[in-house]
Structure 1
Amino acid sequence: MPKPHGFSWEAHSDGSVVITHQGRAAGTLRGGRAAKFLAEAEAGDSQLLMARWTGAYKHGNERAARIHPRNR
């Protein structure tokens, strides 16, 4: 699976975190979820992390792509 790209995040003074994908809002985290995200963002691959937190990293077509003749 290719690595996700185009994600960025911005922490606000009220403690919320806004995650954007290619300039458009993909998700907003508040409270404990925002704190957990910030702790994980410092430690790992931030692009994959943001894709996972927004739910935009798997769409269900991975199995169909695997059996396509082009990918055999």
Structure 2
Amino acid sequence: MKESGAAHFGMKIRNVRLSKGYKQEYIAHRIGIGQAGYSKIETGETALTLDRAFAIAKALDMSLVELIEWHQE
């Protein structure tokens, strides 16, 4: 089964968050949603709006372009 775009991007967000040592609760608080809602973003259960993607990138201390282009080394 092919992975959805939302699931792929959610996994990327999760990997960036973990690489920076942030907890889900911290990012969720910074973007103004609950931890459960944020978890659904990382698992791809909830598709992102562009505004929410910008907010998550900012909470991760990076630009949206940096988040999109990020790859684990």
TM over 0.5: no
Choose 1 or 2 for highest CA Rg.
1
The normalised TM-score by structure 2 is: 0.28
More strand as a share of residues: 1
Structure showing greater relative contact order (alpha-carbon pairs closer than 8 Å, 6 or more residues apart) = 2
| TM-score where L is the length of structure 1 | 0.29
